């Protein structure tokens, strides 16, 4: 890896200024407030403006295809985060639209991709089911062929963003008698198809996700992605991207691990806590002068620094676990007023640690749980073999 300082050209600087001006204009306090109220993590006005200004296109395409060069891509990613652009639907749209580009028919690509770049089409993930999400190959939602159409029945849990999206990337079972990895077919289902019902669910951190019911939903065959029962091949790319298992470039112009965006909330909470405990109270006393406060703050900051420096799949686990460990420690040293959420008068740190406390459990669940990732590390990186969940043998 090359740690030398990146030199920005005049054009890069101009790009950066332009991006900042664009974000300052569009990601207003109103957008942030609305986002907090709805838990949507998406704002249509911002998204359409991003499309119109060419940012979605630049982000999606590689440099060879006319997308952002590496340095600008990095600048753009960091600025987007700094301005708190609602991001979740954008992330799923990019992941799924790559699968549409690779596996969709020319007709489907023409229908969907131009609208992805303009911002009018958003795509979400329909993997998890009420009976289980970790092993998505056990999918029970059925698609049955009827002439040139498919009839879909089932339900999906946690389809985040469905209410703001036009299509869902849906895992279906098309052969219940086959081995599970050979029974899956993928579809890009238009969400305005009759028979689809979207119900909202709010999670403990305030985010909104959905349960989606599919009752006799009829979809033309042109919405199929890849081969019948060949869905696993279509899923591989989006799953690798979501797991953070994609290769990194040697220039270092990217996050060291997926979930860094989430980890930044922990970084901020540590910074704010440090400032609060280092500020004298009315009697001139600072909380940091208490050794136990200094010790716990130091331990939190050390854990946070290790997590944000840990690469790839290990980093993902380190970030989610550290957020769970650090948030209660920070809240303890900040005292009772740290339980007040952001925007509340009297909150010790404007709710920074409290938010991480509520957010951390979810960061260790979505896209795969901490336990599942630890098993993947054990099995695929450390070579420890497949976990054995059979009951222990009885002593004879
Ligand atoms: C906020 C949020 C947003 C989400 N967004 C989406 C979305 O947009 N689309 C979507 O399809 N899904 C989404 N999910 C679902 C998420 O991907 C699943 O919750 C996750 O994969 C775990 O599946 P599960 O909840 O069904 O738990 P289960 O798979 O039922 O697991 C239950 C428990 O068993 C453990 N476990 C399971 N298998 C193993 C194993 N092999 N080894 C060790 N332990 C194991 C798990 O760690 C967990 O503790 C979202 C979830 C949340 C919380």
Tell me: the pLDDT tens digits for 284-306? 999 999 999 999 999 999 999 99
Mutate to test the pocket of ligand 1, among 126, 259, 369 (most ligand atoms within 8 A of CB): 369
The protein residue whose alpha carbon is closest to atom 31 in ligand 1 is 134
H/E element, 100: helix 88-103
Tell me: the pLDDT tens digits for 245-289? 777 788 889 999 999 999 999 999 999 999 999 999 999 999 999
Q: Average pLDDT in the 387-396 region?
A: 81
Residue 159: what pLDDT? 98
User: Residue 186: beta bridge partners?
Assistant: 171, 225
- Fold of the CATH domain 10-118: Butyryl-Coa Dehydrogenase, subunit A; domain 1 (1.10.540)
pLDDT at 336 over 60: yes
Tell me: the pLDDT tens digits for 29-41? 999 999 999 999 9
- CATH 1.20.140.10 domain span(s) along the chain: 260-381
Q: Average pLDDT in the 355-362 region?
A: 98
Alpha-carbon distance of 188 to 79, in angstroms, equals 31
Cα(366) to centroid of ligand 1, in Å?
6
CATH architecture observed for domain 260-381? Up-down Bundle (1.20)
- CATH 1.10.540 domain span(s) along the chain: 10-118
Token output for 59: 């982000």
Residue 97: φ, ψ to 5°: -65, -25
Average pLDDT of the chain is 95
Ligand 1 contacts (CB < 6 A) are 124-128, 132-134, 158-160, 203, 207, 209, 362, 365-369, 371-372, 375
Residue 256: φ, ψ to 5°: -75, -25
Three-state secondary-structure class, residue 142: strand
Given the candidates 2.60.40.10, 2.40.110.10, 3.40.50.12280, 2.60.40.1120, the CATH classification of the domain at 123-230 is 2.40.110.10
- CATH 2.40.110.10 domain span(s) along the chain: 123-230
Q: How confident is the model at residue 4 (pLDDT cuts 50, 70, 90)?
A: low
């Amino acid at each position: 890896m090359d740690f030398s300082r990146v030199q920005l050209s005049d054009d890069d600087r101009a790009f950066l200024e332009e991006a900042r001006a664009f974000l300052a204009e569009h990601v207003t306090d109103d957008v942030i407030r609305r986002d907090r109220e709805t838990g949507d993590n998406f704002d249509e006005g911002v998204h359409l403006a991003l499309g119109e200004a060419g940012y979605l296109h630049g982000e999606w395409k590689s440099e060879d295809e006319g997308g952002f060069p590496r340095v600008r891509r990095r600048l753009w990613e960091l600025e987007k985060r700094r301005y708190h652009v609602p991001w979740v639907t954008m992330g799923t749209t990019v992941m799924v639209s790559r699968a549409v580009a690779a596996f969709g028919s020319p007709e489907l690509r023409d229908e969907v991709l131009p609208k992805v770049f303009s911002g009018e089409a958003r795509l979400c993930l329909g993997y998890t089911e009420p009976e289980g999400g970790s092993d998505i190959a056990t999918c029970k939602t059925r698609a049955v062929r009827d002439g040139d159409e498919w009839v879909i029945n089932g339900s999906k849990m946690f389809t985040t963003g469905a209410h703001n999206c036009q299509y869902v990337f849906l895992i279906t079972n098309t052969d219940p008698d086959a081995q599970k990895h050979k029974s899956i077919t993928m579809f890009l289902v238009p969400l305005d198809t009759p028979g689809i019902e979207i119900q909202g669910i709010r999670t403990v951190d305030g985010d909104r996700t959905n349960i989606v019911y599919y009752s006799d939903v009829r979809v033309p065959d042109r919405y199929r992605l890849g081969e019948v029962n060949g869905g696993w091949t279509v899923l591989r790319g989006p799953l690798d991207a979501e797991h953070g298992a994609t290769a990194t470039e040697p220039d270092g112009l990217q996050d060291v691990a997926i979930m860094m965006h989430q980890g930044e909330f922990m970084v901020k909470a540590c910074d704010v806590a440090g400032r609060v405990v280092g500020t004298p109270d009315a009697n001139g006393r600072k909380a940091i002068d208490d050794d136990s406060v200094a010790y716990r703050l130091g331990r939190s900051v050390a854990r946070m620094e290790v997590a944000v420096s840990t690469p790839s799949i290990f980093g993902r686990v380190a970030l989610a676990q550290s957020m769970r460990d650090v948030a209660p420690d920070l809240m303890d040293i900040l005292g009772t007023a740290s339980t007040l959420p952001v925007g509340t008068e009297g909150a010790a740190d404007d709710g920074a640690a409290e938010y991480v406390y509520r957010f951390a459990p979810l960061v260790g669940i979505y896209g795969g749980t901490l336990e599942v990732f630890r098993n993947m590390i054990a099995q695929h990186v450390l070579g420890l073999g497949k976990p054995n969940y059979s009951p222990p043998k009885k002593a004879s």
